[in-house]
Amino acid sequence: MKTLMISGGSLDEKFALNFIAEMRPDYILGIDRGLNFCYQHEILPSYIMGDFDSIDSRVMEYYMNNPGIPVERFQPEKDATDTQIGIEKAIELKSTGIWILGATGGRMDHFWGNVQCLALAHQAGIPAVIVDPQNYITLLGKETMLEKSRQFGTYVSFFPLGDAVEGLTLEGFKYPLTEHYLKNSDGLGVSNEIAEDTAIVKYRQGMLLMMMSKDREA
């Protein structure tokens, strides 16, 4: 079951609508200000959730008056972010994959909090991805094959989500690595490229964040 979260960060209209049409999610979670986007494009979420402190009043009234959409409302002063609440709901729904639109742009503390929330899905064994027109961000399992023909953008970067990733091996890349100890202060993982038809990423210990990126179109 594929779950799409529409959050309240920056949303490129054309990219987001094309992504939703191609993905064809089983569940759509409207997360706080992401409901404004849903309303503008007549998207009916499966669930709506958040503290709703940044929602247009007309939008909130429209969805609150739709009895077919469950609403989960939280206090603004809460211990979890809206993205964390959404991922926990996606896990509860037994999702097989989670994609998040609107998790980038705006405040960097919100963005980094969203990245850290990927660990919740990762620990539950569910792949989760933050995506926007320039970036595809996810945590990788201990061994992953990447196909050059299906990569998102030109550049592939790797970062530890935590202190370090042990035993990082990159095969089929422009800059290969063998059994590298990647520290969170290490810039060696930035801006690599897939050089062969397929590439392999392996590591032994830690949590490995991958960012596939492309330059902004002129």
Count of domains in the chain?
Answer: 2
Shortest CA distance to 208 belongs to which of 154, 131, 127? 127
- Whole-angstrom CA distances from 206 to 35, 100, 142, 190 are 35, 23, 9, 18
Q: What is residue 98's predicted lDDT score, i.e. its pLDDT?
A: 98
Whether residue 62 is found in the same domain as residue 157: no
Domain that holds residue 192: 139-213
Residues 108 and 177 occupy one common structural domain: no
Write out pLDDT tens, residues 16-34: 999 999 999 999 999 988 9
- Supply 166's token pair: 């042990």
Q: Write down the pLDDT at residue 22.
A: 95
Contact 92, 59 (CB under 8 A): no
Single out the residue of 43, 59, 52, 56 nearest to residue 4, CA to CA: 43
Q: How far apart are CA 89 and CA 45, in angstroms?
A: 13
**List of the chain residues with pLDDT < 50:** none
64-92 confidence digits (pLDDT tens): 888 888 988 876 655 568 889 999 999 99
Domain end (from 109, 133, 157): 133
| Rounded Cα distance, 192 and 172, in Å | 11
Q: What is the DSSP letter of 150?
A: G
Does 218 reside within a domain? no
Looking up residue 15, the CATH number of its domain turns out to be 3.40.50.10240
Alpha helices (H) along the chain: 13-23, 34-40, 57-64, 82-92, 108-123
Residue that terminates a domain, selected from 133, 158, 179: 133
95 shares a domain with 12: yes
Return the pLDDT at 216: 79
The pLDDT of residue 174:
97
Contact 35, 63 (CB under 8 A): yes
Residue 182: CB atoms within 10 A of its CB come to 20
Same domain as 63, residue 164: no
Quick one: 126 and 159 in the same domain? no
Q: Are residues 116 and 156 in the same domain?
A: no
Is 15 within the bounds of a domain?
Answer: yes
Q: What is the pLDDT of residue 87?
A: 95
User: If you search the block for the tokens 């909090």, which residue do you land on?
Assistant: 113
Look up the CATH number of the domain holding residue 202: 2.60.120.320
